[in-house]
Structure 1
Amino acid sequence: MSTNLFDLSGKVALVTGASRGIGESVAKLLATQGAHVIVSSRKAEDCDSVVKQIVADGGSAETIACNIGNMQHIEQAFSEISDRHGKLDILVNNAAANPYFGHILDTDLGAFNKTVEV
């Protein structure tokens, strides 16, 4: 059975929250389909580990650290992407607010707003 779902050769993909979990899996999958993947999360060293795995498996990836709760970080990340690649074809908004605030019905308005803003 073929694992080539679609051809993403020449595409640039940004995956937020990609240092572990679902984001990491999505980043790796996009790379196997030919995309150049920008692995993004708050801590560059966590992203670097994922990038090394992608490259070791024959993919193309890089790290751009970004706290998506900070507009200056977002603007800087997109500026770097534009300078390096001139485009962004795929955006996977996977990052989430931390810490876990508990059951949604028990969450106070401030915590809820923080979650939605991200």
Structure 2
Amino acid sequence: MGGPRPDGVQPRHLFGIGSIIAASLVARDRQASAIAFMFSGLTMANLIGVPAGTWLAQVYDRRLVFWLIAGIGLVTALSVALLAPRIAGLTIAEHLPWDAINPKAMLERLPLVGRRA
């Protein structure tokens, strides 16, 4: 609870990188709208996706929901890889703090873990 969690690493970078990509795909005067549209997806996922997933898990099986989410994620990743235009000069690897996904670095940032007196 006092430090970063591995499951919290990805969304933090997803929204930052998503904002950069959304803003770079439109004209300068439409960048704020593009970023707002991207973030509206998160709102819709919480308003519609979470209750729908909960309902499906109760009516059918929770594993079905996990497989559906995995399938949606795979389709999304393939769609982005195939359909999103290449942005000159933008490489995602340069924008990721690699120590954030390094387990040893994460443990060292936790209080009382990995610290030497």
For the criterion TM > 0.5, the same-fold answer is no
Higher relative contact order (CA 8 A, sep 6+): 2
TM-score, scaled to structure 1: 0.25
Name the one with the larger strand percent: 1
TM-score by length of 2: 0.25
Rg larger in structure: 2
